[in-house]
Structure formats: structure tokens, C-alpha cells
Amino acid sequence: MISSSDIRRYLLTMALLAVVTLGAMAQADAAFSHAWVGKNYYNPAAAGEYNAIHLTLGSRMQWVDFKHAPMNFYITADMPYKLMNQRFGVGVKAEYERIGLYSNTRIGAQVAYKRQLAKNTFLSVGVQPGVFSQTFRGREAQTIDEEGQDDAIPTSDVSGTAFDANVGIFFSHPRYWAGVAVTHVTAPSIELKQSRDAPYIYEFKLSRGYYFSAGGNIPINNTLFEIQPSGMFGMYQKAWTAQVATVVRYNRMFNIGVGYRYKDAATAFIGVNLKDAYIGYAYDYPVSAISKATFGSHEVFVTYNVKLENKEKNKNKQKSVRLM
């Protein structure tokens, strides 16, 4: 007789296999519900959006009921920069991700050229060169057949690193924004091996991801409320994803909202703006078959602005390019 714990383990195994297969054959970008907060996670052209050193810390714990469930942490730091009377955005991004026995580390630098179209309105083109490193913990792998070992599964830890790059275009206005980005432009192949000098046997191929995102900030007349809708569409190989979110902000301080990712999860948001910081939490309730084995996923996002000195005007007066 199959127990409920066996069913849960089976569902988790199938879900993890789906995630790893998707990552190995299609894309390797995390699906953050807070995409409207961490815009330069996908699009390097969004770097330098604020007149401040803008710090973002994002974390996602998926299917938290299970061991080895997917989790992702990343941090970005970006700021505007002027060179030869031209506007740029510069930044760095570091990310760590674990999916089953896979561990991925991404490190990149972001540079965006910004063209001012009107007051507080910019069109940016950006690039993010960097490296993608992956490790598979083969020593922890367990096969179903105890009498033999599948040659496709490493029995020891293997790792590899490859050059990786993202590019994007981003349009920003105080009331709305939109962007197009391509991740993993070179579609690199990562050769996984036990040591630097050892011959590689296993290979992990990254496929390009194509993203379109947009959002707005709509004030409600004669009230302290604002509505902030946003959405993102992503495509990679033969798969695609789409998500939408609507957040209501009160008095430029308290946020509450809902979202939906197609055939994946329904999301609830709550957040607070504290002067130069934002703290947000999202709960994803799965709407797919995995809902029978888990109660959902959690995200926490924190941003903080370190104000920059404005030398062109009053040194003690600062103005943001746009409000979140």
C-alpha cells in the first residue's frame, strides 16, 4: 500500500525532474514574483534607474516542505554615472541558486547607456557580461536501481564555468516603464568535470531567454492610493511563461497586492516603504499538480537607496529619477 509520504516524495521527484530538465534544456533564470521590484535581475539596461546607489536583495524559497527544494538568492548594486557628459548606469550582480543536486552561481557587471528623451524620461541600452558556474553533487545522487549505476548520472561532484552575458533595452518614465531583454545571449555550454585538468563527460547547455516586462504607477485622484500594475512574458526554446501583478500603495508607504503566474501559482504581496528602503514579502500558492504535495513558496525582497550628492544643483537636495 502506498503511503501519503510516498506520494509526496513521488510528486516532489517529478517536480524537481521537471525543473532540472527545463533548466538543462531551456533556461536558467529564476521565476521571481517580485519581478517588478528587481527589474535589473532580467534586464541590465535597468541599472542606474535611481539617483542613488540602489541595493536589491532578493530571495525565493520554493516548495519549502521538501529537502533539496529550489531556492535562490541574489544581490545587485547599481547607480547612475556620468562620463564625458553622457549618462550611464553601472552595477554588479551576484546570484546563488540550488535546484536539487545542482548549484548555480552567477556573477556579472552591468553597464547601461542612458539617453534622456524628456524630463525624467530615459531610454537605456544595457549589457551584462559575466560568468556562470555550475556544480552537480554527484556523491549525493541516489539511483532507483541499486544493482547498477546510470552512466548519465555522475557519481562524484563535477563542476564547470563558462562566459555568460545578458543584454536589454529599458524605457523609464515617472508613471510607467517597459523593457525587453535577452539572457544567456551566447547560449554557452558548461563542461562539467571533477577537476580543471580532467576530461569532461557531462555538459549543461544554457539556452537564450527572451523577456518583455512593463509596469506603471497610476495615482487615484484626490486619494492617497496608487495602483501599480506590472507584467512579464518570458520565452525560451519551446517553453514560455507569463505573470501579472497588481499592487496598491497607500500614502507611498504600505503595499498590498495580488499576482498570477500562468499555470504555476497565485501570489499575494505585502510590503512597506521606509524612507530609503523597501521590504516586501510574497507568498505563492501553487495551482499545478504540485499543490498536492506542498503548501507553496516564499519570497522576501529588500531594497535600499544610498543617496548620491547632486553636484549640478544643491548638494543637499536629491531627486529620484522615478518613484517606485
Give Rg (Cα) of the chain.
Answer: 21
pTM of the model: 0.82
pLDDT computed for residue 288 by the predictor: 81
pLDDT computed for residue 153 by the predictor: 63
What would the mean pLDDT of 228-241 be, rounded to a whole number?
92
Which residues contact residue 257 at a Cβ distance below 8 angstroms, ignoring those fewer than 6 apart? 228, 245, 246, 247, 248, 268, 269
Taking only the tens place, the pLDDT of each residue in 135-190 is 987 776 655 555 555 555 666 788 899 999 999 999 999 999 999 999 999 999 98
Partners of 53 in beta bridges: 306
Query: Is the distance from CB of 184 to CB of 106 less than 8 angstroms?
Result: no
Taking only the tens place, the pLDDT of each residue in 194-220 is 777 766 677 888 889 999 999 999 999
For 4-307, give the CATH class.
Answer: mainly beta
What would the mean pLDDT of 122-147 be, rounded to a whole number?
81
Residue keyed to cell 521606509: 274
Mean pLDDT of the chain: 84
DSSP symbols for 2-32: --HHHHHHHHHHHHHHHHHHHHHHT------
